[in-house]
Amino acid sequence: MSLMTGKEYIESLRKLNLKVYMFGKPVENPVDDPILSPSVNSVRMTYDMAQMPQHQELMTAMSPFTGERVNRFTHIHESTQDLVNKVKMQRLLGQKTASCFQRCVGMDAFNAVFSTTFEIDQAHGTSYHENFRRFVAMCQKQDLVVDGAMTDPKGDRSLPPHKQPDPDMYLRVVERRPDGIVVRGAKAHQTGMCNSHEVLVMPTVAMSPEDRDYAVSFSVPTDAEGIYIIIGRQSCDTRKLENSSLDVGNVEFGGVEALVVFDDVFVPNDRIFMNGETEFATMLVERFSGYHRQSYGGCKVGVGDVLIGASALVADYNGVPKASHIKDKLIEMIHLNETMYSCGIACSAEGTKTPSGSYLIDLLLANVCKQNVTRFPYEIARLAEDIAGGFVVTAPSEADLHGEFTGPWVNKYLMGNASVSTENRMRILRLIETLCMGSASVGYLTESLHGAGSPQAQRVMIARQGNLEHKKELAKTIAHIVD
């Protein structure tokens, strides 16, 4: 088996013994929980669309490991076309879900660890790359969702891992045994962990030799003994408990984040991909960050397409689609959205082959892509709220719309364009609210800012890779300057 259906994916989640906590209590059935199930639906789309012939080129790829067609989310990039198709796939899924579909981090971790383990083995004679190739083949054959886990809580950020007052602020090896290692710590902001079969752990910062215990990469099943998933709060999340499709905004889809605790988790030797090679931590972090910053030129653009469409609709419903300032705002939203997409495509087209044979994006352009993503979605959201008007945050509830006493008044006074029902106008307002301020804004705005590293992290990389000395020489040549 290489490609599961969406239904088979959901059934595979039911077989997991995940330890999930929300609101201080264990969640017995995460798959069907009303707050969590929209995030399951988003991942399901990555399976359902892979079954559709019209999306086969984007959603799937031929694997050299299995000889079969596999989901692109488990694929190792073999060309710049693979990198381009990845971004196009992410935009498509963003359009279909208007949310985070949660598999990008695992895909980006796959590719970063693949090439880095090859180079560790070249330097140290280890067998990490072979371990990882077997892991990739297993995930492809079983069509698994892999949660990429990089971000540590970090504690006091002025101190390196080995100087933290609490040594568990960065995930670390606490015991080395003949058959494997035992790890302790936590990973924060974990996208889709409760909807994943496997977790792929990576270090989160550059490390010195003193940080040896923290330079660790490995994989274990998400229901491994000692793993606990604590679900993060999202704005308006409990609206999903109210049985109101209108008030939720995005009725079917959503994202989920979590704090994941590793409480003395055992990792067998064949699941270890780095164990103390501190000099390669920077390579792994930079490659993963680059891949993930590329991703945002696809997924956030797809969600932006939905928000732009909602803004154009609400202008229709408000009766102002021909107003010149409305047209100009929609044009600006499209311009910003396509600029982000252009950067995602550019860093893909300019990718290069690594010593392992896999392809890496252009790291400078990937960081430029993400730097734009930290800004442009906020301006797109501001313009969307501007076009929508005040009712985007002051509209009554669905219960008021249908209330015996309040309903006639809400229907009367929230009417816009007479050809559009008040309910439909409220539905599009709620979608805009959800994308800009509600639970979906986690996967659009806040994730655009902090996902794959904060804005300053990209600026550090841009400064490092911008090659100013080369640019100085260009200027000297044109100006006929001789030192």
What token pair was written down for 378?
A: 């906020």
Which DSSP state fits 54? G
Please confirm, yes or no, whether 139 is among the known catalytic residues. no
Other Cβ atoms closer than 10 A to 401: 20
Please confirm, yes or no, whether 394 is among the known catalytic residues. no
Please confirm, yes or no, whether 347 is among the known catalytic residues. no
Selecting among 191, 204, 222, 278, the annotated active-site residue is 191
Selecting among 198, 277, 398, 447, the annotated active-site residue is 447
Please confirm, yes or no, whether 299 is among the known catalytic residues. yes
Please confirm, yes or no, whether 369 is among the known catalytic residues. no
Please confirm, yes or no, whether 450 is among the known catalytic residues. no
Which DSSP state fits 86? H
Instruction: Give the C-alpha separation, 37 to 236, whole Å.
Output: 15
Selecting among 104, 347, 369, 436, the annotated active-site residue is 104
Selecting among 194, 292, 347, 374, the annotated active-site residue is 292
Region of 418 please: left (phi>0), alpha (psi -120 to 50) or beta: alpha
Instruction: Give the C-alpha separation, 294 to 298, whole Å.
Output: 8
Dihedral over Cα of 153, 154, 155, 161: its sign: positive
Q: List Cβ<8 Å contacts ≥24 apart for 282-286.
A: 282/206, 282/207, 283/116, 283/119, 284/112, 284/113, 284/116, 284/202, 284/203, 284/217, 285/150, 285/202, 285/203, 285/204, 285/205, 285/206, 286/363, 286/461
Instruction: Give the C-alpha separation, 434 to 371, whole Å.
Output: 24
Which DSSP state fits 237? G
Selecting among 9, 128, 170, 296, the annotated active-site residue is 296
Selecting among 257, 286, 385, 398, the annotated active-site residue is 257
Selecting among 46, 77, 204, 299, the annotated active-site residue is 299
Selecting among 60, 77, 100, 189, the annotated active-site residue is 100
- What totals of helices (H) and strands (E) does the chain contain, helices first? 19, 14
Locate all alpha helices (DSSP H) within 6-51, ordered by sequence: 6-14, 37-48
The closest alpha carbon to 377, from 336, 347, 345, belongs to: 336
Catalytic residues, by residue number, are: 100, 104, 191, 257, 292, 296, 299, 447
